[in-house]
Structure 1
Amino acid sequence: MRIHSRASASAVLSLLSLVVLGACGEDGSLPLDKPEPTPFQPAQVPAITALAPVSGFADQAGGGVFATASRELVRLRLDGTLGALEPHPGNAVAAGGILGVFRLGPHSALVETQTGLFLAESGWLIAPPWRDALGQGVIATAQSADGAVWLAHTRGLFRLQEGTLAELKVDGASVTGITSLAAAPSPENLPGVWFLHEGGLSVAAALSTTNYRVLTPSAPLAEGETLQALAGIGPAVGTAGELWVLTSKALLRAGRNGWRRVELPQQPRQLMGAGRFLWARADGALLQFDADADLWRVATDAGAGDFHFLAADESGTVWAQQGGASVALSHVLVPRLQGLYQGMQLVNDGLVVRAVMPPGPAPTSVVYSLGSSEIPTEGPDYSLGGLEADGTHRAYSFAALEAGRYALSVVARYEDGSEARRSVPFDYAPLVSGPLSWDQDIRPIHEARCRNCHNTSSAARSLDSYELWRANAPIITAAVRDQRMPADGPMDPELISRIQRWAASGARP
Structure 2
Amino acid sequence: MLAACEPSLPQDTPKPEAFQPARVTAQAEVAPSPGFADQTGGGIFVTAAGELVRLRLDGTKAPLENHPGNPITPGRGRAVFRMGPGSALVEADNGLFMAQSGWIIAPPWRDALSLGLSASVVTPDGAAWLAHASGLFQLRDGALSQLKVDGQPLVGISSLVVAPAERVSPALWFIREDKLWNAIQTAAGAWQVRQAQVSLHKGETLVGLAGLGESEKGAGEAWLLTSERLLRNAADGWREVALEETPEQVVAAGRFLWVKTGDGLFLYDADKDAWGQASGVDTGSLRLLTADESGCVWAQLGTETVALSRGPVPRVLGLHEGMRVVEDSLVVRARVAPGNAPESVTFQVAGVDVPVSGPAFSLGGVEADGTPKAYSFDGLGPGVHTLSAVARYADGTEARRAVSFSYQPVSSSVLGWNKDIRPIHVARCAKCHDSGPGRQLSTYQQWKDNLPLIIAAVRDQRMPADGPLDPQLISVIQRWATAGANP
Give the TM interval when normalised to the shorter protein: over 0.9
Please point out which of 316, 328, 333 is paired with 1:349: 328
Identity %: 53
Deviation at 1:225, TM superposition (A): 2.8
Deviation at 1:396, TM superposition (A): 0.6
State which drifts further: 218-227 or 38-47: 218-227
1:386-436 residue CA offsets vs partner (Å, 9 max, x unmatched) = 112332211111111100101100000011111110000111111123220
Distance 1:374 1:36 in 2: 32
Deviation at 1:209, TM superposition (A): 5.2
SS at match of 1:501: helix
* Partner residue, 1:425: 404
1:478 aligns with 2:426: no
Is the CA contact 1:225–1:248 (under 8 Å) kept in the aligned structure 2?
Answer: yes
* Partner residue, 2:241: 262
* Partner residue, 1:442: 421
Please point out which of 272, 276, 286 is paired with 2:255: 276
* Partner residue, 1:8: none
Please point out which of 111, 115, 122 is paired with 1:143: 122
Distance 1:432 1:316 in 2: 35
Gaps of 5+ in 1: 1-18, 22-27
Distance 1:250 1:303 in 2: 21
* Partner residue, 1:489: 467
Letter in 2 for 1:411: V
1:247-302 residue CA offsets vs partner (Å, 9 max, x unmatched) = 22222111333222211112211111101100111112211111111111122542
Please point out which of 212, 222, 228 is paired with 1:249: 228
Is the CA contact 2:417–2:485 (under 8 Å) kept in the aligned structure 1?
Answer: yes
1:289 aligns with 2:277: no
Deviation at 1:458, TM superposition (A): 2.3
Deviation at 1:449, TM superposition (A): 0.2
Letter in 2 for 1:458: G
Deviation at 1:373, TM superposition (A): 1.5
1:55-104 residue CA offsets vs partner (Å, 9 max, x unmatched) = 11100000011112211111111101111111111111111111001111
1:300-328 residue CA offsets vs partner (Å, 9 max, x unmatched) = 54252332222110001111112111111
SS at match of 2:341: coil
SS at match of 1:451: helix
* Partner residue, 1:336: 315
SS at match of 1:132: helix
Distance 2:72 2:273 in 1: 47
* Partner residue, 1:365: 344
SS at match of 2:428: helix
* Partner residue, 1:64: 43
Deviation at 1:346, TM superposition (A): 0.6
* Partner residue, 2:436: 458
Please point out which of 186, 190, 193 is paired with 2:169: 190
Distance 1:247 1:127 in 2: 37
Deviation at 1:368, TM superposition (A): 0.5
SS at match of 2:224: strand
Is the CA contact 1:104–1:143 (under 8 Å) kept in the aligned structure 2?
Answer: yes
Letter in 2 for 1:398: F
SS at match of 1:468: helix
Runs of 4+ in 1 over 4 A off after TM superposition: none
SS at match of 2:337: coil
Distance 1:427 1:146 in 2: 13
Deviation at 1:238, TM superposition (A): 4.1
Is the CA contact 1:234–1:241 (under 8 Å) kept in the aligned structure 2?
Answer: yes
* Partner residue, 1:3: none
Q: Alignment RMSD, CA only? A: 1.6
Gaps of 5+ in 2: none
SS at match of 1:448: helix
Is the CA contact 1:56–1:102 (under 8 Å) kept in the aligned structure 2?
Answer: yes
Distance 2:179 2:220 in 1: 21
Is the CA contact 2:23–2:308 (under 8 Å) kept in the aligned structure 1?
Answer: yes
Deviation at 1:173, TM superposition (A): 0.7
Distance 1:222 1:374 in 2: 50
* Partner residue, 1:412: 391
Distance 2:170 2:177 in 1: 23
1:386 aligns with 2:353: no
Distance 1:210 1:480 in 2: 25
Is the CA contact 2:121–2:129 (under 8 Å) kept in the aligned structure 1?
Answer: yes
Please point out which of 323, 342, 367 is paired with 2:302: 323
Letter in 2 for 1:134: L
Distance 2:279 2:175 in 1: 30
1:438-460 residue CA offsets vs partner (Å, 9 max, x unmatched) = 101000000000000011x3221
* Partner residue, 1:24: none
Is the CA contact 2:32–2:300 (under 8 Å) kept in the aligned structure 1?
Answer: yes
SS at match of 1:305: helix
Is the CA contact 1:157–1:176 (under 8 Å) kept in the aligned structure 2?
Answer: yes
Distance 1:302 1:254 in 2: 29
Distance 2:460 2:377 in 1: 18
Q: Would the alpha carbon gap of residues 210 and 506 (structure 1) be closer, same or farther in structure 2, given more than 3 Å must change?
A: farther
SS at match of 1:488: coil
Q: Would the alpha carbon gap of residues 471 and 158 (structure 1) be closer, same or farther in structure 2, given more than 3 Å must change?
A: same
Q: Would the alpha carbon gap of residues 387 and 207 (structure 1) be closer, same or farther in structure 2, given more than 3 Å must change?
A: farther
Is the CA contact 1:336–1:357 (under 8 Å) kept in the aligned structure 2?
Answer: yes
Deviation at 1:201, TM superposition (A): 1.2
Distance 1:503 1:246 in 2: 46
* Partner residue, 1:125: 104
Letter in 2 for 1:365: S
Deviation at 1:335, TM superposition (A): 0.5
